Amino acid sequence: MGLQGDFYQLLKEQGYAFGLAGQAKVEQDLIAATTILAFKYRDGVLVAGDRRATAGNVVMYDRTDKVLEIDRHSVMAIAGVPATAYEMARVLEHSFKYYRRTQLQELSFEGKLRALSKLLKENVPAALAGTGAVAPIFAGYDSEQEAAKIYFYDILGAEFEGVEYAVSGSGSPTIRGILHYLNTWGEQPLSALSEEQATIQALRLLTSAAEFDSATGGVNRDAGLYPVIKFVAAGGVRATPDPQLRALFESKVSRTT
Amino acid sequence: MYEEPYRWVEAVGNRRHYLDEQFKQGSPVVGVAYEAGILLMTMSKGTPKLYEIYDRLALGGMGHPADLEKVRFTLLETAHIEGFNRSPFDVTGSRMVKYGLAPVIKQAFEEVFKAPFIVKIILAELGQKIGKDSFLTVNYDGTFEEKNCYAMLGATPGVEQEMAAYLRSQTIVSLDQAVNAAVCAWAVGDRAQRQAFAEPGEPSEAPTNLDRQVSDSDVLYDHVRQCMNDKSIECALLDRQVPSTSKYRTIGPDELATLLPGDLGRSAA
């Protein structure tokens, strides 16, 4: 009777299956590619993602939210096949809620990391078949250690801690180098940035990624489209509203006004 | 022998009598809707009686703790599977009770060779809009009732009627009014239960002044004050102002202290 508070097990008992292998050879381009990033700033972790979804050289959608709030204290940023990634996010969201409500306590941060790792492992057949590869970043506030943390995963489910920052997606090689440079030789390390300074850097990083990666959407001022930027801190998850992003972009990022 | 209809009816009657006896010592539960949400309140001895079920659903119960746990898990599993497979908007108290829980409780009650659920519950549901909040109460035999402004659980229908009469006379808009009305309604119910089940001639362990006017708030607060020797006030909210999708939160002792009158608040903290 639900002693373990394991929602995913409950789903499987109901006949739910995750990560079924698709066709080994995919005839049609799958929607994929992206840039997501996370780094520690003064008060916690900033997590950001562009909003473009592509299939091959076709832009499928320019308003995708890739930084998904899983519960009050954790977010998952997704890179890879959206169908699988969104399903993972839904399973996680329900799993964390179910655990909290059945066991009358929050699932530990470690437990949340393992839950995502388990889903990725179950998804390996689909990932290897080319129909469901997902390489997410998970960031959350660890109330035991009173610190916000970043973890990133490969498509097989291995988890790695991003001690200072983590990136994923097709645009990530571009900004990984920039993050290393900023953190090592910048005026101050990323972890010393204020919320506003961190937001400016995130906007500049995603703009740089969009410059070199056609599958990453930059800022589209005409359409009022800005990246999704969320903060994870002791008080929970908070999104930065578009008007604030617009003001910072125009004053600190754009070279034309 | 229960194949004979008369025997079966007699067995069910005995079972009803047995179950009524089990709730004599139970702690009433009160649910009231107020402007910003729904409050559930009871007094408990350590084991909680109020629980979060889903984003907009909360449970309050009286009866055997193990049976309340069974009911809670049934609701939790049904709600989360439904919310995942369809949408959180499809997880309604009405569907959970009418097509999920109530038939199970009724079946357990009527299967005279098996143990019944020794439990009565309130399922509170926060509406999407103000004025759309609702309550469902389920009795140990599976009968359920839908209510709007308030709901209560007591040992007998008579006790519940007294609690309802008290709540009907109250104006409840703010959280402060909701908490105070609920605490007093609980006291009305608890006093009524003690009166109903007091053995004639037996010295009562109950707090004094049971014969005084039940709507006198000083008397009711005094009753609660005396009950706090071995129980504590438990309050949970479905709060429309909570920014996340899950609207459930508990009222901690410090917050409770600011909502209750002077010394009662300090005792709760």
Chain B residues with CB under 8 Å of A10 CB are: 77, 80-81
Mean pLDDT of all residues in chain A? 91
Please give the Cα distance from A221 to A224 (Å, whole number). 5
All structural domains of chain A, each given as residue ranges with its CATH number in brackets, are 31-253 (3.60.20.10)
pLDDT at B90 over 90: yes
Neighbours of A214 (CB within 10 A): 14
pLDDT at B214 over 90: no
CB contact under 8 A, A101 and B73: no
Confidence bin at B215 (pLDDT 50/70/90): low
Confidence bin at B196 (pLDDT 50/70/90): confident
pLDDT at A4 over 80: no
Over residues B218-229, the pLDDT tens digits come to: 899 999 999 999
Confidence bin at A128 (pLDDT 50/70/90): confident
Over residues B169-184, the pLDDT tens digits come to: 999 999 999 999 999 9
The stretch B53-60 carries a mean pLDDT of 98
Contact (CB, 8 A) for A41 and A238:
no
pLDDT at B265 over 80: no
Chain A residues with CB under 8 Å of B48 CB are: 104
The stretch B191-197 carries a mean pLDDT of 91
Instruction: Say what the pLDDT of residue A79 is.
Output: 94
pLDDT at B208 over 70: no
B262 domain-assigned: no
Please give the Cα distance from B28 to B34 (Å, whole number). 20
Instruction: Say what the pLDDT of residue A41 is.
Output: 98
Q: Backbone phi, then psi, for A197, in 5-degree steps?
A: -60, -40
Q: Identify which of B54, B81, B83 has the shortest CB distance to residue A10.
A: B81
Q: Is the confidence metric ipTM above 0.85 for this complex?
A: yes
B222 exposure class (CB count in 10 Å sphere: 0-12, 13-18, 19+): middle
B166 domain-assigned: yes
For residue B47, the chain A residue with the least C-alpha distance is: A104
Structural domain harbouring B166: 5-256
Over residues A243-253, the pLDDT tens digits come to: 999 999 999 99
Cα atoms found within 13 Å of the Cα of residue A249, Cβ hemisphere only? 22
Over residues A27-68, the pLDDT tens digits come to: 555 555 799 999 999 999 999 999 998 888 888 899 999 999
B264 domain-assigned: no
B40 domain-assigned: yes
B20 domain-assigned: yes
How many structural domains compose chain B?
1
B266 domain-assigned: no
B263 domain-assigned: no
Q: With pLDDT > 90 as the criterion, what percentage of chain B qualifies?
A: 77
B130 domain-assigned: yes
Q: Backbone phi, then psi, for A51, in 5-degree steps?
A: -120, 15
Confidence bin at A110 (pLDDT 50/70/90): very high
CA nearest neighbour of A170 among A69, A53, A74: A53
Interface of B with A (CB under 8 A): 48, 51-55, 69-70, 73, 76-77, 80-81, 83-84, 244, 246
Q: What is the dihedral of CA B191, B193, B199, B201, to 10 degrees?
A: 20
**CATH number of the domain where residue B149 is located:** 3.60.20.10
Cα atoms found within 13 Å of the Cα of residue A20, Cβ hemisphere only? 5
Query: Which of A97, A107, A232 to probe by mutation at the B interface, max B CB count within 10 Å?
Result: A97
Rg of chain A (C-alpha set): 18
Strands A53-55 vs A58-61: parallel, antiparallel or unpaired: antiparallel
Instruction: Say what the pLDDT of residue B3 is.
Output: 67
Please give the Cα distance from B1 to A59 (Å, whole number). 74
CB contact under 8 A, B80 and A7: yes
CB contact under 8 A, A2 and B76: yes
Instruction: Say what the pLDDT of residue B166 is.
Output: 96
pLDDT at B195 over 70: yes
Question: Smallest CA–CA separation between A222 and chain B, in Å?
Answer: 31
Chain A residues with CB under 8 Å of B52 CB are: 100-101
Over residues A12-34, the pLDDT tens digits come to: 998 888 776 665 555 555 555 79
Instruction: Say what the pLDDT of residue A25 is.
Output: 54
Q: With pLDDT > 90 as the criterion, what percentage of chain A qualifies?
A: 77
Q: With pLDDT > 70 as the criterion, what percentage of chain B qualifies?
A: 91
For residue B55, the chain A residue with the least C-alpha distance is: A97
Q: Answer yes or no: A34 catalytic.
A: yes
Instruction: Say what the pLDDT of residue A2 is.
Output: 53
Residue B29 three-state SS: strand
